[in-house]
Amino acid sequence: MCGIVGILGTHEVAPALVEALRRLEYRGYDSAGIATVNEGRLDRRRAVGKLVNLSDLLVHDPLAGKSGIGHTRWATHGAPTEGNAHPHRSGPVAVVHNGIVENYKDLRAELARHGLTPHTDTDTETIAMLAQHHLDTGMAPVEAAFATIDKLEGAFALAFLFDGEEDLMVGARKGSPLAVGHGDGEMYLGSDAIALAPMTNRITYLEEGDRAVLTRTGATIRDAEGRAVTREVRTISMDAARVDKGGHKHFMAKEIAEQPSVLSDTLNAYLTQDGIALPGPGIDFAALDRLTITACGTAYLAGFTAKYWFEQIARLPVDVDVASEFRYREPPIPPRTAALFISQSGETADTLAALRYCRDKATALYGVVNVPESSIARESDLALPIHAGVEIGVASTKAFTCQLTVLLLLALKAAEQRGHLTPEARDKVLAQLRALPGVLNTALGRDQHIEAVAQELAEARDILFLGRGAMYPLAHEGALKLKEISYIHAEAYASGELKHGPIALIDQHVPVVVLAPRDGLFEKTVSNMQEVMARGGKVVLITDAAGAESAGAEAWKVIQMPEVPDLLAPILYALPAQLLAYHTAVAKGTDVDQPRNLAKSVTVE
């Protein structure tokens, strides 16, 4: 949520700042801005809307300088106007910020007593004002930045730039990620390594509370207590930092298409000849009485699906909740309960807070993450990477199927350890899993037909999704995906719940997408489908050949998936749900990769 970058360069930095912001735009795209120091003078340019507006502005009104900071915004405090866009400036200080300063009103009141008044609606401006105030009292820039950071409550990743200081940048991290990049005679700051990838692959991830002082010759880092600390410089794989659409029209299309291959990577990381190998010390599921799963959005729906797997095949009771509710409900955590957190970014503020809540209460903390250096990965007792590769599209697709795959492997491991799965039965499922990437490829072959169905769905104002068993969470995922990128109102219900109220919504204008492979629950779902059709409802049935044969004739549209064992169906059926949402959004002409009001990494609560 918001992307920040900083460069102490050897050439003009404006183009490199804009390129870095382009790579960070997935974090927010309400407005963007840069500030530089040129011949000792601090100056800035800002523009509302997508980054392209800032680059256009820079053509007409360039900004010179070899030191600079930049920001792409997802508005929290104050509307997305030019005045509220970052960098924020107060006298000789410019600041970019990702996060929320919770005590900004108190700080404003304090600053007013020193004659400093705000000009924007943002919390961030207060940081620049506070730094200016500290400079006014005679502090040197680094001292002023540190004194400012000490006063901030909330979450932040920050970069400071000072008038008259061409070889100085100060960064800080608390609650929001920040990386230091090491170049040749250049130094960088960025919200993630992807932003810095065109400039360097040598990265230091700052830890919670760290402050970094950068000059062109290097960085000195202090921890929250002010002690000088050494943090590892890692060389990151450039592959991991690739951000191109690979010939696809949208990142989302590319990421949907990548699923067979990334799912193979996930499986390869966890499967050996002897079965399922978890990283590090692994997990002793036999020692657990309960698992509590917490996440947000799509990651939560992966957890919700996993509840069915853990309970059915491993007989392990699972509580699953959205992190924003869990953390404030403060639930008791019974003994012998492990807590598992799922997050693509590994930085979602509510999920991280839920993890911290569980720290001294749960038997162990497990993180199912896509970004191995993320906060959730680092603060978990054991991080379980999903190996989906960088996901840029704001709507999560490949991360979801890779999360599901890791969760299914965990459920199988649990079933084995708890005596509910023989080695033979396990090997059979693992063989089916190894064949799954091929099945996903076949499903992707139905793309054109799904696109044709989507053209018709694009006319609807409301759409319902139904599913039973493990297809129920998937119905939620289908509805979430559709509403977030096509802006069509969509709701999901458990098929059996329809007649307890929602059936009142059914008429010929409300298409109903039914996710129903021909499994043990199929006939029951078909009965619910009949209830919909009896009321004039138009059913899009997503099923397999046997399901289409038995119930397809009555449906308005049928999307036929390849056959797959019941256990694996949620992973496969995610694909038509994603493709339906994607093509509906394209048909409606929305901004698929950057839907309105959203951002990929939600680092505020």
Binding site for ligand F6R (CB under 6 A): 296-299, 343-345, 348, 351, 395-396, 480, 484, 602
Comparison of 168 and 323: residue with beta carbon closer to ligand F6R: 323
Told to judge if 499 belongs to the known catalytic residues of this protein, a careful annotator would answer: no
Smallest gap from Cβ 315 to ligand F6R, in A, equals: 28
Comparison of 42 and 299: residue with beta carbon closer to ligand F6R: 299
Comparison of 17 and 388: residue with beta carbon closer to ligand F6R: 388
Told to judge if 2 belongs to the known catalytic residues of this protein, a careful annotator would answer: yes
Smallest gap from Cβ 406 to ligand F6R, in A, equals: 13
C-alpha 395, offset from chain centre: 9
DSSP for 500-531, please give it.
GTGGGG-STTSEEEEE--SSTTHHHHHHHHHH
One-letter amino acid at 368 equals V
175 secondary structure, DSSP code: B
Which residue has tokens 């999360």?
A: 403
Comparison of 124 and 403: residue with beta carbon closer to ligand F6R: 403
Smallest gap from Cβ 597 to ligand F6R, in A, equals: 12
Closest by CA to 35, choosing from 86, 82, 80, 102, is: 86
One-letter amino acid at 399 equals A
Closest by CA to 547, choosing from 567, 521, 570, is: 521
Question: 272 — phi, psi (to 5°)?
Answer: -125, 180
Please give the residue whose beta carbon sits closest to ligand F6R in the complex.
297
Smallest gap from Cβ 35 to ligand F6R, in A, equals: 29
Q: Are 370 and 344 in contact (CB under 8 A)?
A: yes
Smallest gap from Cβ 344 to ligand F6R, in A, equals: 3
Comparison of 276 and 577: residue with beta carbon closer to ligand F6R: 577
Which residue has tokens 């590892």?
A: 232
Half-sphere exposure for 515 (CA within 13 Å, toward CB): 31
Half-sphere exposure for 503 (CA within 13 Å, toward CB): 16
Classify 332 as helix, strand or coil.
coil
Comparison of 340 and 602: residue with beta carbon closer to ligand F6R: 602
199 secondary structure, DSSP code: T
The residue from 2, 296, 358, 402 that is catalytic is: 2
Instruction: Give the count of beta carbons closer than 10 Å to the beta carbon of residue 515.
Output: 30
State how far the alpha carbon of 119 is from the alpha carbons of 78, 82, 127, 263, in Å: 11, 12, 13, 50
Smallest gap from Cβ 297 to ligand F6R, in A, equals: 2
Query: Which positions are catalytic?
Result: 2, 600
